[in-house]
Structure 1
Amino acid sequence: MDNRKVYLNNHTNLLELEEHMYPLVDVDTPNVFRNLFRYDEIPKIAFNDRIVPHHMPDEIWITDTTFRDGQQSRAPYTTDQIVTLFDYFHKLGGPNGKIRQSEFFLYSKKDRDAVYKCMERGYQFPEVTSWIRASKKDFELVKDLGMKETGILVSCSDYHIFYKLKMTRREAMNHYLSVVRECLETGVAPRCHLEDITRSDIYGFVIPFCVELMKLKDEYNIPVKIRVCDTMGYGVNYPGAVIPRSVPGIIYGLMTHAGVPSEYLEFHGHNDFYKAVSNSTTAWLYGASGVNCSLFGIGERTGNTPLEAMVFEYAQLRGTLDGMDTTVITELAEYYEKEIGYRVPSRTPFVGKNFNVTRAGIHADGLLKNEEIYNIFDTDKFLNKPALVAVSNTSGVAGIAHWINTYYKLSAAHQVDKNSELVAMVKSWVDNEYAEGRVTVLTDDELIAVIDDACNKLKITL
């Protein structure tokens, strides 16, 4: 006899049958999914064609780990740099707080000074949160600083439980639950970082563990958040892929079988297989309200999901920026280069110096006729970066004309076309440069000097 309850799902407005409970499956030997993860072979992506439904939350947002995971792979930021970047995040996130939180280390005086100064700003968003070791002393530090939430590392794959912690699954679960309870006793909301979830036993450990976490949430009436950490970048977004690599499958399982609400679910991706952005977007689509990102993707190994990428993913999914100021992204890139000494690779989408620069002559001709042909959107409007043409031996007269019009910001009435005498003179000089053996793209300074000389000879001004 099936005694499971039938209930109404308020999100889909469909009657659903209560799912079976999933108890902890304790094992004597670790399940490291050798069928998928043989260390001497490339990891495999397997399919069973079990499809789970989209479940986009009513509200989605971005959280930031630039000062935590982002600092694990580069020289630490100074206190002043952290505060400046925090101000930028506040401006970028806009009045609706689309950049919801920013997490900090608390171990050094520099980090704590930055936390104090950021909290003194009085911003509602981003909320200042922390990442700590699982100890009573650290919990008290979080409470003393006035934080309402902190991240706690709860590694969940057998790789970590057996090989790193030297525990059984039951020992690990009991240890984690005691740590989370200690955190709740201090009145601080725990954010449980399920490290290495894409190599874990989802229904044998993760779901049973999260069921217990939700019980603690109800017992203390304090939020308990779940961060889905794709620590090694193994997650995939393909429909029908098997768990533990299936991001849709993981999110569905946590919501449906562990009862984790969307607003308490957050995805944290790494880019080892170039999937951080697509996996983060997938987490939104299947029910996680939050995606955790690092500015420019700077993070451990290949890095995290780039924060700026998810700003534009948000706009594409929701049809609006909801108040986010995307021009701040360009300001941030300039700040990193001038003040921090970090140069974003030139072809990086949205922020690289050449991300919207074309070198092909035929493309330049299209840009000159209609910018929409070869530019992804109005990059001048959203990023203060107009589409540009790099002048070389392949740019042609159209490329030179476009460069002049864009660089000098000439109005429509004063723009030059590819048949103008000025363009012909510059083209002649460019051809001569490459005829003499040049192989590099021309610099702005060189072009300015040539254009100035040509304008003097033609007795015109731009």
Structure 2
Amino acid sequence: MIALFVKSPRFLDTTLRDGEQTPGVSLKPDDKLNIATLLSDIGVSVIEVGSAVASDGERESLRLISDAGLAAEICTFVRGVQLDIDYAADYGAESVHLVIPVSDLHIEKKLRKDREYVTQMAWDSVEYAKERGLIVELSGEDASRADQAYLYDLYAGGVERGADRICFCDTVGVMTPERASEIIPPLAALAPLSIHCHNDLGLGLATTLSAMKSGASCAHATVNGLGERAGNTPLEELVMSLEVLYGVKTGIRTDELYHLSTLVSRLTRVPLPTNKAIVGEMAFTHESGIHAHGILRDAATYEPIMPEMVGRRRRILLGKHSGSASVEAALSEMGYKTETRQLQEIVSRVKQLGDEGKRVTDSDLHAIAEAVLDISCTPVIRMKQFTTVSGNSVMPTASVTLTVNGEDITQASTGAGPVDAVIMALRKAVQDVGDITLEEYHVDAIYGGTDALVDVTVKLMKDGELITSRGARTDIIMASVEAMISGMNRLLREKDENRGKNTH
């Protein structure tokens, strides 16, 4: 009887092979090394580095990663062809993912061969790979649509000839979790078995979990679920499901999952869906009044895991769904204290902005609070104008004109980009009234599209006081300026202003 979930499951990450087959994705060798290094560092057992036979760039990537001294086993995809196996061995792979078509559809339509030919090809390739000193994972392509008796015999013969592992590929994502629980146990009794699922019908994760519960000791996955068509089983979702729902210790450093996800998204140029589980922008973001209220009292009310578990942080946005609790929490963070009637009025105005289709920024909330609390407070800084210039042959430059304590000040600066330049110019313009340092800059697109609303968060420090400020516009430079001006005003206000204790 095979135990439910092995004690120490293994993960073969195929982001650099199957993930790179996502249309439009092409990674340079250095990019592949960066991803492989982080995958190894977080505890992934095996990294599949492309297909060495495909190109010079793929062979360079394999050599580069094989020579990097990573803890993970370095694997490469091969067909049942001696040339593929030779390239794998010659360029430093420790193991091969030997993929053999096993369904009659693939055998007859793609290869135009018969079962006997494919069986012999598989067994001969296993023997040759072992002669070349490679660990062999014998993989059945389109296994979920294959004759299972034929598949069993092919695997069994491969194991007899030296295959170290076998892999069941649900190549077009048609296997159900229920069927996996029937098919996997007898195959897993032959040798350590991996499960490789695609997500064409949205069942990749569920089927992978079912296979692992039924005896599979290793799962193939990709970061962010990258892959052809609808992609593969997402590594981050699989790891957290095992850890949280089934209590399986995966050995993966989960607090690095978000870092890994954003690195892969940036290097592949495939943006994360905003509502994607675990790593999507909205995964730990709340606006609804009831939800935000519950979260502020106990995060477990509306979050299955703490965001810190995956290297993230919680965000509460203000809009038409916001309730008193979330607005009060935001006001408190800014230093405002309100009576019940004042809070109700502020909430009403926040909702009004939300009904107009706007997202309420820190600057908006400041303005609303100061109006409702009747605080007589003249901003230290007012923006009069700014310009930025950048291009492929122009050093990014920005000039700003601010009114600082009633005096117009103009400053200019260059930077690594237009945002960097305008932030440098703003800091120079206020240096006579306060030395403000930018401690952190973060930008998010709230939704997709070229007109995406951009949310900029800055952390500014003056004399040991650290504050967070935000700006939200469709223009990233405008959003950055808004966040900086709002934050600098808060830091530069007189100490005796006492805005947070108004009791009008």
Could you say which structure has the higher strand fraction?
2
> What's the counterpart of residue 161 of structure 2?
216
> What's the counterpart of residue 142 of structure 2?
196
| CA contact 1:269–1:304 (8 Å) conserved in 2 | yes
Distance in 1, Cα, partners of 2:107 & 2:370: 68
Secondary structure of 1:131's counterpart equals strand
**Which residue type is aligned with residue 39 of structure 2?**
F
Q: 2:321 aligns with which of 394, 400, 405?
A: 394
Two-structure CA RMSD over aligned residues (Å): 2.9
Distance in 2, Cα, partners of 1:359 & 1:294: 31
Give the direction of change, closer, same or farther, for the CA distance of 1:344–1:153 in structure 2 (3 Å limit): same
> What's the counterpart of residue 34 of structure 1?
none
Q: Is the aligned partner of 1:237 residue 2:155? A: no
Q: Is the aligned partner of 1:182 residue 2:182? A: no
Distance in 2, Cα, partners of 1:69 & 1:452: 54
With normalisation by structure 1, the TM-score equals 0.74
| CA contact 1:364–1:402 (8 Å) conserved in 2 | no
Offset at residue 374 of structure 1 (A) = 1.2
| CA contact 2:170–2:198 (8 Å) conserved in 1 | yes
Distance in 1, Cα, partners of 2:159 & 2:136: 11
Distance in 1, Cα, partners of 2:340 & 2:269: 42
Q: Is the aligned partner of 1:78 residue 2:24? A: no
Give the direction of change, closer, same or farther, for the CA distance of 1:378–1:251 in structure 2 (3 Å limit): same
Offset at residue 206 of structure 1 (A) = 0.4
> What's the counterpart of residue 7 of structure 1?
none
> What's the counterpart of residue 243 of structure 1?
none
* TM-superposition CA deviations, 1:4-43 (whole Å, max 9, x none): xxxxxxxx5xxxxxxxxxxxxxxxxxxxxxxxxxxxxxxx
Give the direction of change, closer, same or farther, for the CA distance of 1:99–1:180 in structure 2 (3 Å limit): closer
**Which residue type is aligned with residue 142 of structure 2?**
D
| CA contact 1:251–1:286 (8 Å) conserved in 2 | yes
Secondary structure of 1:104's counterpart equals coil
Distance in 1, Cα, partners of 2:199 & 2:327: 38
Q: 1:265 aligns with which of 193, 196, 201?
A: 193
Structure scoring higher RCO (CA < 8 A, sep ≥ 6) equals: 1
Give the direction of change, closer, same or farther, for the CA distance of 1:393–1:298 in structure 2 (3 Å limit): same
Offset at residue 321 of structure 1 (A) = 4.3
> What's the counterpart of residue 39 of structure 2?
89
Give the direction of change, closer, same or farther, for the CA distance of 1:460–1:105 in structure 2 (3 Å limit): farther
Name which one, 1 or 2, has greater alpha-carbon Rg: 2
Distance in 2, Cα, partners of 1:224 & 1:180: 9
Stretch of structure 1 that moved more, 225-234 or 128-137: 128-137
**Which residue type is aligned with residue 429 of structure 1?**
R
| CA contact 2:273–2:280 (8 Å) conserved in 1 | yes
| CA contact 1:62–1:100 (8 Å) conserved in 2 | yes
Distance in 1, Cα, partners of 2:126 & 2:238: 30
| CA contact 1:390–1:403 (8 Å) conserved in 2 | no
Give the direction of change, closer, same or farther, for the CA distance of 1:236–1:459 in structure 2 (3 Å limit): same
Size of the aligned set, in residue pairs, is 378
Give the direction of change, closer, same or farther, for the CA distance of 1:147–1:359 in structure 2 (3 Å limit): same
> What's the counterpart of residue 16 of structure 1?
none
Q: Is the aligned partner of 1:155 residue 2:101? A: yes
| CA contact 2:122–2:158 (8 Å) conserved in 1 | no
Q: Identity rate of aligned residues, in percent?
A: 22
> What's the counterpart of residue 46 of structure 1?
none
Give the direction of change, closer, same or farther, for the CA distance of 1:112–1:427 in structure 2 (3 Å limit): same
> What's the counterpart of residue 402 of structure 2?
none
Give the direction of change, closer, same or farther, for the CA distance of 1:402–1:270 in structure 2 (3 Å limit): farther
Offset at residue 101 of structure 1 (A) = 3.3
**Which residue type is aligned with residue 15 of structure 2?**
T
Stretches of structure 2 that go unaligned for 5 or more consecutive residues are 378-496
**Which residue type is aligned with residue 233 of structure 1?**
G
Q: Pairwise mapping of residues 33-432 of structure 1 onto structure 2 (< 5 A)?
A: 55-74=4-23, 75-93=25-43, 98-106=44-52, 107-125=54-72, 127-203=73-149, 205-217=150-162, 223-238=163-178, 246-256=179-189, 260-261=190-191, 264-316=192-244, 319=247, 321=249, 323-336=251-264, 338=266, 340-379=268-307, 381-403=308-330, 419=340, 421=342, 423-424=343-344, 426-432=346-352
| CA contact 2:173–2:204 (8 Å) conserved in 1 | yes
Give the direction of change, closer, same or farther, for the CA distance of 1:268–1:420 in structure 2 (3 Å limit): farther
Give the direction of change, closer, same or farther, for the CA distance of 1:328–1:445 in structure 2 (3 Å limit): farther
Secondary structure of 2:499's counterpart equals coil
With normalisation by structure 2, the TM-score equals 0.68
Offset at residue 278 of structure 1 (A) = 1.1
Distance in 2, Cα, partners of 1:266 & 1:234: 17
